[in-house]
Structure 1
Amino acid sequence: MTGPGPQPSLQSRLADALVESGYRRAYGVPDSVLAPLLRQTEQHIPLTHMPREDLAVGAAVGACLGGETAFVFMKNAGLGNSIDALLSLARASQVPVSIVMGMSGTGGDTLPHHVAVGERASAVLRAVGIRQRTLTPVEEPRSLAHWLHRNWMSRTSAAVLIPPG
């Protein structure tokens, strides 16, 4: 008799919960921290890789205006590239943006150029009025996905931050 198989990772469970919550598309710039989430997501919904984070925000806003629910995925280092699109396009159009962000430079990631961004990304999100929560072993991925979608439904931009490891 064999025991239960391996448990899905937190990121895989989050990906399933995002789809369950109602997200139907994902746009973004690939990030190795987010690899498990992206692999699982593309098994369920269209996942489009974009060359820049601001273009991913634009695509997600366009999808929303067209009646779709989409989220944006990016590495925290790309946050700066997306700020103008988040503030001028999304906010001006009154379209909330749901973000799933890989957090390089946090946890065990000590590369100096990652740490420089990792230490500041959360503060930048707060400064532009984007709510945030972090995926941890204590935080149930399903409740995070539903929180993100509830923010979207209430027309509030929000982000789920995913540390390495």
Structure 2
Amino acid sequence: MIQAEEFVEAARNLGFGWYSGVPCSFLTPFINYVINDVQLRYICAANEGDAVAIAAGAAIAGKPAVVMMQNSGLGNAVNPLTSLTYIFRIPLLLICTLRGDRNLQDEPQHELMGQITEKLLETMTVPWEFFPTDAAEIEPVLQRATAYMQQERRPYALIMRKGAIAPHALTRSSIPEREDSNSAHIQQSFFRDNKEQRISRSEALARIVELTDPENTVVIATTGYTGRELFASKDSANHLYMVGSMGCASSMGLGLSLARPDLKVVVIDGDGAALMRMGNFATIGTYGGANLTHILLDNEVHDSTGAQATVSAGISFAKIAKACGYGVTLAGDDPALLDALFTVDANNRPKFAHLKIRPGTLEKLPRPNLTPEAVLQRFMKHIGNS
């Protein structure tokens, strides 16, 4: 058994100061120590996949990051680990607990995951070793992890068994204190209620590009046609085209915006992607700042897979964003909404716009002619993280 301080301070000496995750009782002392230290940053995610994406955003900004989760949460993290951190080559340190350990009596829901945790990590090509239980082991373990991450630019995992860390009391809240979100909230409607007059995705993207300054603004486009049409509209070093990890664009944008408050971060989401990970609305509303702008282009279908309908026709995303703590929420089908979004003051909170658009895409829609890794490296160089 080690003290939480021994591991966290050794990790801090190697640059790790950003943490995101979903709690597990095995992790309690570790999480408590991180929360108690005002120089460290802990983001409590809605699920483990979002935690991976939040940490990935911080890593892109040059902040080495740790993701903490129970092994049951590996199921939620499979998609971003295989189609975000692997494809884009983003190094993260994973600390995953071993519920369902064969050597312990545990709850029945952990039995199978306890048997396959190591194999699941190996299948995802994530190398792993057990979390250190002796102080003398900490430095060698971290050295092996960081050496791999620096060379391969991919995640490395530590599997934590029960009782690895001594108890550590929580003395402060990890949730930022804010005034009532409704007291200074700005909400506007831009509906014309004519579906035939709705603009296309490509028209909306072109206007967003016009409204953003590439010198101080980055744009993250969700997977599918959105990223491809943004590339077709204008390929730029300040653009990041998601090619997988559906629904994770907003969580990665949150991590980046928190790690780089000097940058303006614009996330372009889709209705299907937003519905898939709606828990991140609450995380953004709680932690996000005024430098994060979240735009949802809603055509009410899964466009790139055959235009199957989503359930977004009956959903008020702007009301959800308001309830979650965004400072500005706009909704409508009038493209003037975009102009208003980029001029209104968010009062130190994130901004949100729900723009209804029409389905369909460009003929012969191209794909980015750069690999995801090349796109990310160009993007990181643009923001000064080479």
Structures share a fold, TM > 0.5?
Answer: yes
CA apart distance, 1:41: 2.4
Conservation of the 8 A alpha-carbon contact between 2:100 and 2:113: yes
When residues 10 and 160 of structure 1 are mapped into structure 2, their CA distance, relative to the original with a 3 A threshold, is farther
- Distance, in Å, in 1 between the alignment partners of 2:150 and 2:90 is 10
Match of 1:121 in 2: 117
Normalising to structure 1: TM-score of the pair?
0.87
Q: Deviations over 1:56-97 (max 9, x none)?
A: 111111111112111111000000100110111112212122
Q: Distance in 1 between matches of 2:105 and 2:161?
A: 9
Match of 2:27 among 31, 34, 41: 34
SS in 1 for 2:50: helix
Aligned partners of 1:30 and 1:74 also within 8 Å: yes
Matched-pair contact (CA < 8 Å) for 1:109–1:164: no
Query: Which residue of structure 1 aligns with residue 131 of structure 2?
Result: 135
Deviations 1:37-64 (A, max 9, x none): 1122232511111011110111111111
TM-score (norm: length of structure 2): 0.39
1:158 equivalent in structure 2: 156
8 A contact 1:13–1:142 mirrored in 2: no
Question: What secondary structure, in the 3-state scheme, does the structure 2 residue paired with 1:119 have?
Answer: helix
The structure 2 residue matched to 1:61, chosen from 56, 62, 66, is 56
Residue 22 of structure 1, CA deviation: 1.2
- 2:14 equivalent to 1:18: no
Tell me the SS of whatever aligns to 2:129. Answer: strand
Residue type of the alignment partner of 1:35? T
Specify the alignment match of 1:95 in structure 2: 90
User: Is contact 2:68–2:95 with CA below 8 Å preserved after alignment?
Assistant: yes
Please list every run of 5 or more consecutive structure 1 residues that lacks an aligned counterpart in the other structure: 1-7
- Deviation by residue 1:7-46 (Cα, 9 ceiling, x = unmatched): x835442222221221120111111101111122232511
Do the aligned partners of 2:22 and 2:47 also contact (CA within 8 Å) in 1? Answer: yes
Change (3 A) 1:119 1:151: same
Q: Which residue of 2 aligns with 1:52?
A: 47
Q: Is the 8 A contact 1:70 1:98 kept in 2?
A: yes
In structure 2, give the amino acid aligned to 1:102.
T
Distance 1:156 1:90 in 2: 6
Q: Percent identity?
A: 23
Structure 1 letter corresponding to 2:138: P
Q: Which has the higher contact order (CA 8 A, sep 6+)?
A: 1
The amino acid across from 2:86 in the alignment is: R
Residue 5 of structure 1 is matched in structure 2 by: none
- For the residues of structure 1 that align with 2:128 and 2:114, how far apart are their CA atoms? 14
CA distance in 2, matches of 1:156, 1:10: 27
CA RMSD of aligned residues (A): 1.8
* Residue 3 of structure 1: aligned partner: none
Q: Supply the distance in 1 between the matched residues of 2:77 and 2:88 (Cα, whole angstroms).
A: 15
Q: Which amino acid aligns with 1:162?
A: M
Please state how far the C-alpha of 1:99 moved relative to its aligned partner: 0.2
| Structure 2: gaps (5+ residues) | 164-386
